[in-house]
């Protein structure tokens, strides 16, 4: 048995006009799952749980491997408000492409899976504790890896007019084997700091530094980005610049000093 009741339309309710059917677009389905349909079929994921982590970009410039590319993302497997809601899984893949050499070989890569807890402490402070593995994917004869437990604190400062400053010191300890790089800690150090100043929908400048004060060795890397849509057109990409100086940009040459500068395009920053 079915019973229907017709209710009068509220004067403030929007009028619905007949329009042509729209193409499928991402929409929350079934408690958070997002469906995306295109020529490859239908794919789905809990998109709201994914987010950018380190910058994802491709940049070309100087150095032995003149092209550097990186893909990085993080996700939260658990929702809610319990302890597991602070658990994050992340992955960063960085590879170096000698585009200026014959056949343009990909010379080396850094694989960095990560798991960490990120807990907000107040409105402008986050504290993270986690584990990160970084390796070059080599075999017994040339493997270099770093297993680290780290503690990181990020403090945000609201500068007004859409500007913010973030400062994130961190420290770590190595454990386990390091392949053929037994003295990796002498060049990477046991601590670092990231600082960035960002204008929403505008420029972002980020600086990362790490090192070992006892050996005087370390590295610094700077990133500069600007939304291409501010230059012209509705483009969801960033103009991106990256520069590095110091030790350990690539794992096989962790004990050699390099200075590089590159420019390219970023998907996230």
Q: What percentage of the chain exceeds 70 in pLDDT? A: 88
What per-residue confidence (pLDDT) applies to 178? 86
Residue 264 CA to residue 224 CA, distance in Å, equals 10
Mean pLDDT of 93-98: 94
Q: Tens digit of pLDDT for each residue in 138-191?
A: 888 899 999 999 999 999 999 999 999 999 999 999 998 888 999 999 999 999
Mean pLDDT of 19-37: 56
In this prediction the pTM is 0.85
Residue 225 CA to residue 48 CA, distance in Å, equals 24
Residue 162 CA to residue 190 CA, distance in Å, equals 34
213 Rama class: left (phi>0) / alpha (psi -120 to 50) / beta = alpha
Bridge partners (DSSP) listed for residue 266: 57, 238
């Amino acid at each position: 048995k079915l019973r229907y009741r017709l209710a009068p339309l509220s004067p403030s309710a929007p009028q619905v006009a007949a329009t042509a059917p729209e193409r499928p677009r991402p929409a929350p389905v079934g408690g958070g799952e997002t469906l995306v349909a295109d020529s490859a079929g239908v794919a789905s994921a809990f998109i709201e749980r994914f987010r950018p982590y380190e910058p994802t970009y491709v940049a070309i410039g100087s150095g032995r491997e003149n092209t550097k590319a990186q893909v990085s993302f993080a996700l939260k497997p658990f929702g809610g408000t319990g302890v597991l809601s602070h658990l994050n899984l992340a992955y960063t893949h960085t590879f170096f492409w000698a585009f200026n050499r014959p056949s343009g070989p990909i010379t080396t890569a850094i694989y960095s899976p990560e798991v960490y807890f990120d807990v907000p402490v107040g409105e402008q402070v986050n504290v993270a504790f986690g584990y990160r593995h970084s390796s070059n994917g080599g075999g017994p004869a040339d493997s270099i890896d770093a297993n680290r437990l780290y503690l990181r604190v990020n403090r945000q400062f609201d500068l007004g007019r859409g500007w913010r400053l973030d400062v994130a010191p961190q420290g770590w300890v190595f454990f386990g084997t390091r392949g053929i790089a037994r003295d990796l800690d002498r060049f990477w150090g046991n601590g670092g700091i990231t600082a960035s100043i960002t204008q929403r929908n505008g420029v972002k400048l980020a600086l990362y530094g790490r090192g070992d004060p006892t050996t005087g060795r370390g590295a610094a890397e700077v990133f500069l980005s600007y939304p291409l849509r501010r230059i012209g057109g509705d483009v969801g990409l960033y103009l991106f610049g990256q520069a590095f100086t110091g030790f350990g940009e690539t794992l096989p040459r962790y004990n050699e000093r390099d200075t590089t500068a590159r420019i390219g395009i970023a998907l996230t920053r």
